[in-house]
Amino acid sequence: MSKNINVALIGNPNTGKSSVFNHLTGLNQKTGNYPGITVEKKQGVCRLPRGVKARILDLPGTYSLNASSVDENVVVELLLNKKDKDFPDVAVVVSDVENLKRNLLLFTQIKDLNIPTILVINMSDRMRRKGIRIDTHKMELLLHAKVVLVSARKNVGIDVLKEHISAYKTISTKACLDIKRIDQEYFGSLERTFPNQSLYKLWLVITQDVNFAKIERKRMEAEDANHLRSSSFLKRLQQKETIKRYQFINSVLKDCYVKDSSKATDLRGRLDQILTHKFWGFVIFFVVLLSIFQALYDWSSVPMDFIDTSFVQLSDWAKTSIPSWMAPNLIAEGIIPGLGGIVIFVPQIAMLFLFISILEETGYMSRVVFIMDRVMRRFGLSGKSVIPLISGTACAIPAIMATRNIENWKERLVTILVTPFTTCSARLPVYLILISLIIPDERILGANLQGLVLMVFYMLGFAMALLAAFVLHKIMPQNQTSYFVIEMPNYRIPLLKNVLLTIVEKTKSFVLEAGKVILAISILLWALASNGPGETFKNAPREVAKSVAVSDAKYDQKLNAYKLEHSYLGIIGKGIEPAIRPLGYDWKIGIAIVSSFAAREVFVGTLATIYNVGEDKDETIKKRMAAETYADGTPVFTLASGLSLMVFYAFAMQCMSTLAIVRKETNSWRWPAIQLVVMTAVAYLGALVTFQYFSL
């Protein structure tokens, strides 16, 4: 039996590396995380000619082996450590035909590690339009590597690539650059101290801050610390190294690469002129956003309603049809609604990623980052934070997942932490019912007052997110210099296959990862709501039967309300009443707040249960809420308490799905915990001030 070949797919961002990966592996791919960090690890299997199998590892996009982000560290770490189980037998470096010179820099670095290397020149379908001709045969001789012209878009060259991979043993491992030429003295002495070792590898160990290099550096230090010089000395050598590499690349390209610029069309220039325009750039961006949100609301409501009703029906069915030994209540009231709470987000997540991946694939996203960077920087964010913040108005979960392309960890973390302040769609049902209850249906200056209040709350969310970002920016230490260098890629028509695979992958990762936590908390809340201490809870049917006949239609509703009041959840609600009285809430609202920790929209449903009216009858709940009074006859829902409640929902972190995804993205419970505590505190104070102010 032949051994599987380990293939590492390496390349600069925007070279179509993932298209090549998708072509090689099809749906035979899985995504995980590298241990301890949040970098995605994409792996797949490719069948090669003659029954050989290749394990393809799609490494994060990197510009060079001088790593400057967590993603890039992964690449260096793997390529230095020959003992790693993923260490490649052959490296496939993917390059873009139009940026070949720059892409070859990384190629020469990989070659210098003496790994057999295949150069893929992707997007070869654009060559004619751009007036480019390449003599691949000559290039192979000059680079001592295999060179394949590939068009992932037109599915050209993939088979040749597979042939080369299976014949990797015949590829030369000769280096491109004699590294001693950078600095004879330094590298000569390095070679004398550590003979028989690859000089370039030693050089990377000295200069790179990845774990493997740190360990190796300690070993070197023990032998001879002479070579670990100041960082500015090393950086100067790195610059010299880069110059030498470009000299080599230029000498290669001179002989085998011709570009006739007169044939090139300047679509990029013309599109950039409009899309990055001081005025029109913003107008277009605004229109694009507006269309996306219209689509998100309009297109997702049908599947979401469908999911909602299906799970309610499933739950009803389970309650009556599942035999009692299988705990039908746990299944019908805990597990099924819990699963429903996960699946309900799928349409919005899938759709948001549809749009985001289209924006990214076309290259438009980089232009948005470009025009928004200055504005966002004032708040300690980056141009790249715009999309997550705005996506947050649909749902914070996909929005937080969309922060992954912010390289600077601090900017990314701040974006993750403040995104839940934006008004997500789950707050909408809460706002709508409270507004209709406490704000008169009047017009001022021709505008609907209720609509205005709703808009104010959306703006409040954005303002709070920016304010929080500003504060975090000031108090968090800057642990790495924030350099902002972004590539402005060519405009391209998105590949359907890439878009679809992105949607599948993101949705799957949400359902599997966040889903576990959501399910667990749903079951916990169910258990708290359907169990209670002592005799009172157990005797609920008898107690209720005292006031309402068992045959009465209202009996079930009364029983549910009674049970909830005496359940653990009810006791918690009563327990927190002293704390929430200053905000204008009674214990019933307290229960609704506690139970809507799981998901905000549960608020309305819980109140319906407590006030024992049937669900799905907004009018009835509204009337019932309006009639609710304290013992002394004053109404519970007033302008003051209603606004206070809305402010609470605007700021509080009441969404376990968000906490779960933050945990996943930051790989620690620390940040979701901070988020929960701080946002709850802000919500409490905000609600307190609001209630006290409006009660005056």
Partner 1 sequence: MHLTLADLEVGEAATIDSFDIEQLPMKLIEMGCLPGNEVRLLHLAPNKDPLYLNISGSHLAIRRETATCIHIRKEDE
Question: Site residues (CB under 8 A) for partner 1?
Answer: 63-64, 66, 68, 99, 101-102, 105, 232, 235-236, 238-239, 242-243, 246, 268-269, 272-273, 276, 278, 282, 366, 369-371, 373-375, 383, 481, 483-490
Cα(482)–Cα(632) distance, integer angstroms:
59
State the nearest-atom distance from the C-beta of 268 to partner 1, in Å: 8
Question: Cβ(59)–Cβ(44) under 8 Å?
Answer: no
**C-beta of 126 vs 623, nearer to partner 1:** 126
Contacts of residue 554, Cβ cutoff 8 Å, sequence gap at least 6: 548, 612
Q: How far is the CB of 198 from partner 1 (least distance, A)?
A: 21
Q: Whose Cβ is closer to partner 1: residue 247's or residue 294's? A: 247
In the complex with partner 1, the residue whose CB is nearer, 412 or 506, is: 412
Q: How far is the CB of 102 from partner 1 (least distance, A)?
A: 5
Kindly state the smallest distance separating residue 362's Cβ from partner 1, in Å.
15
Rounded to 5 degrees, φ, ψ at 7 are -115, 130
Concatenating the DSSP letter of every residue in 231-268 gives HHHHHHHHHHHHHHHHHHHHHHHHHHEEE-GGG---HH
**Minimal distance in Å, beta carbon 123 to partner 1?**
15
Q: Residue 246 and residue 257: Cα distance in Å, rounded?
A: 15
Taking the complex as a whole, the smallest distance from the CB of residue 178 to partner 1 amounts, in Å, to 19
Q: 370-382 in b/e burial notation, b at 16+ Cβ within 10 A?
A: bbbbeebbebbbb
CB of residue 408 to partner 1, shortest distance in Å = 11
Of 271 and 346, which CB lies nearer to partner 1 in the complex structure?
271
Angle, vertex CA 24, rays to CA 22 and CA 27, nearest 5:
55
User: Do residues 418 and 465 touch, judged by C-beta distance below 8 A?
Assistant: yes
366 vs 657, beta carbon nearer partner 1: 366
Amino acid, res. 361: E
Give the integer Cα–Cα distance in Å for 565 and 611. 11
Query: Minimum CB separation from partner 1 for residue 686, in Å?
Result: 33
Q: By C-beta, is 375 or 550 nearer to partner 1? A: 375
SS3 54: strand
Single out the residue of 396, 465, 456 nearest to residue 646, CA to CA.
456
Closer residue to partner 1 (CB): 210 or 339 = 210
CA 450, 454, 457, 459 torsion: positive or negative?
Answer: negative
Q: How far is the CB of 248 from partner 1 (least distance, A)?
A: 14
In the complex with partner 1, which residue's Cβ is closer, 306 or 484? 484
Helical axes 199-207 vs 211-223, angle rounded to 10°? 110
**Helices (H), ranges, 131-257:** 136-143, 158-166, 184-193, 199-207, 211-223, 231-256
Minimum Å gap between C-beta 326 and partner 1 is: 58
User: What's the min distance (Å) between Cβ of 378 and partner 1?
Assistant: 11
Q: Which two tokens stand for residue 329?
A: 């209540």
Tally the C-alpha atoms within 13 A of residue 523's C-alpha that lie toward its C-beta.
12
Place of tokens 């990797």: 168
Closer residue to partner 1 (CB): 224 or 255: 255
Residue among 287 and 302 whose Cβ is closer to partner 1: 287
Quote the least distance from Cβ 272 to partner 1, whole Å.
Answer: 6
Helices 639-651 and 427-438: angle between axes, nearest 10 degrees: 170
Report the residue number, 108 or 117, with the smaller CB distance to partner 1: 108
Residue 285 or 510 with smaller CB distance to partner 1: 285
Residue 674 makes CB contacts below 8 A (sequence gap 6+) with 417
Write the secondary structure of 491-517 as one string of H (helix), E (strand) and C (coil). CCCCCHHHHHHHHHHHHHHHHHHHHHH
Q: Which is nearer to partner 1, 415 or 690 (CB)?
A: 415
Residue 107: CB partners within 8 Å, gap ≥ 6?
93, 95, 117, 119, 143, 145, 176
Query: Do residues 122 and 138 touch, judged by C-beta distance below 8 A?
Result: no
Q: How far is the CB of 391 from partner 1 (least distance, A)?
A: 22
Nearer to partner 1, 12 or 557 (CB): 12
Instruction: For partner 1, give the closer residue by CB, 105 or 390.
Output: 105
What is the C-alpha to C-alpha distance for residues 623 and 637, in angstroms, rounded to an integer? 11
Helix, strand or coil, per DSSP, at residue 425: coil
Q: Which DSSP string do the residues of 391-402 spell out, in sequence order? A: HTTT-HHHHHHG
Residue type, 261: S
Nearest to 73 by CA among 480, 416, 385: 480
β partners of residue 121: 95, 149
Q: How far is the CB of 372 from partner 1 (least distance, A)?
A: 8
- d(CA 522, CA 528) in angstroms, rounded, equals 10
Least distance from C-beta 665 to partner 1, angstroms? 24
